[in-house]
A and B are shown apart, each in its own frame.
Chain A
Amino acid sequence: MAALTETFAHAVELLVSGDEQLWTIIGVSFRVSFLALLTACVPAVFLGFILAYWRFPGRWFLLSMTHTLMAVPTVVVGLLLFMLLSRSGPLGDWRMLFTQDAMIIGQILLCLPLLVSMTHTAFQSADKRAWETARMLGAHPLRCLWVLMHEVRYALIASLVAAFARIIAEVGCAMMVGGNILNYTRNITTAIALETLKGEYAQGVALGLVLFILAMILNLGMALLRGRGQLSHR
């Protein structure tokens, strides 16, 4: 028990004292995951919308594919991407393996199915009249979509939060294609894996705390947003 509290105290100390290496690692995590989410959300919203509002052949198949892909372990995605980007792989000439770009691509692949599935559900449960009214009033399709997105904004934000949580907390793919290179591709989760391996639990706990605090902030923020939304709109 003493060892546990000691580790925790040391972890908090590391965080508060602004340990440079620790904060670099945290920075890498946030940079990579934010960029991945930013890139993924636009196509995901479109796909989710199309799946919810357009009837086309193959729609059912696409939907079940997104649900299936959500269950694929992150290491498998990492492995596939690794094989693609490897020197002996088809995209080896890009020399992208073990870079932040590779990590971003991996995380895009990881959060896309989740985002598509959740935005699809959001759009499907939306008040259809929002889309129809905007359309009937002659608005550009993108504006109609914007109205609809506004209608389901809380569900959309929730899906963004869920996707962000998934990618910032995943370790398999980041380790595989990022390579855990210090000051470059070492992020929170790969660092935790490493520190644990080294028996340096304090750093691992400190980084774990960051993830925990982040999750807490995101969820509190969500709850607040939703509460406010209910007050002003229902």
Chain B
Amino acid sequence: MKKLTHLLAAAVISATVSVQAVAEDLGIVRLATTTSTYNSGLLDYLLPTFEKEHGATVQVIAVGTGKALRMGRDGDVDVVMTHAPKAEAKFVSEGYGIEPRGIMYNDFVLVGPNNDPAKVKGTQDITQALEKVSANKALFISRGDDSGTHKKELNLWKQAAVKLPFDGYREVGQGMGKVLQMTSELQGYTLTDRGTWLAYKTKVDLAIVSEGDARLFNPYQVIQVNPERHEGLNTKGAESLSKWLVSDNAQDMIDNFRLHGEKLFVANAKD
């Protein structure tokens, strides 16, 4: 009997505590984000904490950057989290999004076949590395899907002054994971974000051939959808999520996130 009372007491206490935790009820927040953040597991790692603290449910729609911004433009989501600075700037300047906040960055790597037919290995300068790929007419698989990664890649080709398409350049229009698989099957080169690379590197027959160039850094921003443009947005929820992501707590969590034992994202909200 005594035991039961104790149990009851414990239950009552814990219930009170959880009620206290859910001080605000934010309802459902819809977040459109890129496959890279979702597939790496970062969001599954971060979001439960936010949901518990703020009594919200975050519905994640993982798509490419292009689609994510489009969904934001159409008011289909409350908040977007993407990594394509130019498109994001346009998104904000055209009035579709408000309050852009930089939260973190990760980096891209150039991967290729283990036998490295274009002899790229050891070239840290990414533009030189890409020049070697095109000069050797090696196979290069491009995302070709307007995603942040695709935009990054096009930008780098431009910097390397390589005219596209060269012999061996293939636009496939698929997600990063699929592109890595295809690159492995066809034994070509491709530019990938490190998160997807880490998730796939045991499944594919490829290796990193160039990394570490500052131009390979990939900043992520979180942007609220402009509530003046669409009705029925969960603006309050979007704002809370956006602010929480740049909070010390969330930033620490991002820094501590590991995939296959490797650090993936660098929190930089304070920079």
* Docked complex Cα distance between A128 and B70 (Å): 60
Checking A98, A197, A200 against B186 with a beta-carbon cut-off of 8 angstroms, the contacting residue is: A98
B67 CB–A CB distance under 8 Å: yes
Could you give, for residues 116-129 of chain A, a 1 whenever the CB lies within 8 Å of some chain B CB and a 0 otherwise?
Answer: 00000000000000
Chain A residues with Cβ below 8 Å from B71 are 199
Spot the interface stretch: A44-52, A173-181, A209-217, A226-234: A173-181
Contact B205 A87 (CB under 8 A): yes
Chain B residues with Cβ below 8 Å from A197 are 63-64, 66-67, 145-146, 173
* Docked complex Cα distance between A184 and B172 (Å): 9
Contact B67 A179 (CB under 8 A): no
Chain A residues with Cβ below 8 Å from B172 are 179-182
Chain A residues with Cβ below 8 Å from B146 are 197-200
Query: Are A199 and B67 also in contact (CB < 8 A) when A3-B74, A180-B174, A182-B173 are?
Result: yes
Chain B residues with Cβ below 8 Å from A184 are 170
B185 CB–A CB distance under 8 Å: yes
A109 CB–B CB distance under 8 Å: no
Contact B69 A98 (CB under 8 A): no
Chain B residues with Cβ below 8 Å from A180 are 172-174
Complex interface residues of chain B between 182 and 196 (CB less than 8 A to chain A): 182, 184-187
A149 CB–B CB distance under 8 Å: no
B144 CB–A CB distance under 8 Å: yes
Q: Which B residue's beta carbon lies closest to that of A185? A: B172
A159 CB–B CB distance under 8 Å: no
Complex interface residues of chain A between 142 and 181 (CB less than 8 A to chain B): 175, 179-181
Q: Which A residue's beta carbon lies closest to that of B69? A: A199
Q: Which A residue's beta carbon lies closest to that of B63? A: A197
A194 CB–B CB distance under 8 Å: yes
* Docked complex Cα distance between A196 and B67 (Å): 7
Query: Are A182 and B66 also in contact (CB < 8 A) when A87-B205, A200-B146 are?
Result: no
Contact B145 A198 (CB under 8 A): yes
Complex interface residues of chain A between 1 and 26 (CB less than 8 A to chain B): 3
Contact A97 B66 (CB under 8 A): no
Q: Which A residue's beta carbon lies closest to that of B169? A: A182
Q: Give B141 Cβ to nearest chain A Cβ, in Å.
A: 9
Once A and B bind, how many residue pairs between them come within 8 Å at the CB atom?
58
Complex interface residues of chain B between 119 and 175 (CB less than 8 A to chain A): 144-147, 170-174
Contact B69 A186 (CB under 8 A): no
Q: Give B179 Cβ to nearest chain A Cβ, in Å.
A: 9
Q: Which of A86, A184, A198 has the most CB of B within 10 A?
A: A198
Contact A182 B171 (CB under 8 A): yes
Could you give, for residues 41-85 of chain B, a 1 whenever the CB lies within 8 Å of some chain A CB and a 0 otherwise?
Answer: 000000000000000000000011011011101100000000000
Contact residues on B (Cβ < 8 Å of other chain), bracket: 20 to 34
Q: Which A residue's beta carbon lies closest to that of B182? A: A179
Contact A98 B182 (CB under 8 A): yes
Contact B67 A175 (CB under 8 A): no
* Docked complex Cα distance between A196 and B187 (Å): 28
A190 CB–B CB distance under 8 Å: yes
Chain A residues with Cβ below 8 Å from B174 are 175, 179-180, 194
Contact B185 A194 (CB under 8 A): no
* Docked complex Cα distance between A131 and B248 (Å): 83
Q: Which A residue's beta carbon lies closest to that of B205? A: A87
* Docked complex Cα distance between A194 and B173 (Å): 6
Chain B residues with Cβ below 8 Å from A200 are 66, 146
Checking B66, B184, B185, B187 against A198 with a beta-carbon cut-off of 8 angstroms, the contacting residue is: B66
* Docked complex Cα distance between A191 and B187 (Å): 24
Q: Give B45 Cβ to nearest chain A Cβ, in Å.
A: 25
Q: Give B128 Cβ to nearest chain A Cβ, in Å.
A: 26
Contact A87 B63 (CB under 8 A): no
Checking A3, A87, A97, A190 against B173 with a beta-carbon cut-off of 8 angstroms, the contacting residue is: A190
Contact B205 A198 (CB under 8 A): no
* Docked complex Cα distance between A179 and B171 (Å): 10
Chain B residues with Cβ below 8 Å from A186 are 173
- On B, residues with C-beta under 8 Å from A are 63-64, 66-67, 69-71, 73-74, 144-147, 170-174, 182, 184-187, 205
- On A, residues with C-beta under 8 Å from B are 3, 86-87, 97-98, 175, 179-182, 184, 186, 190-191, 194, 196-200
Q: List 8 A-B residue pairs with CB atoms under 8 Å apart, sorted by A's residue number.
A: A87-B184, A180-B173, A182-B170, A182-B171, A182-B172, A190-B173, A196-B67, A198-B64
Beyond known contacts A179-B182, A194-B173, A199-B73: 20 more, CB 8 A cutoff: A86-B185, A179-B172, A181-B171, A182-B144, A184-B170, A194-B145, A194-B174, A196-B67, A197-B63, A197-B66, A197-B173, A198-B64, A198-B67, A198-B70, A198-B146, A199-B66, A199-B67, A199-B146, A200-B66, A200-B146
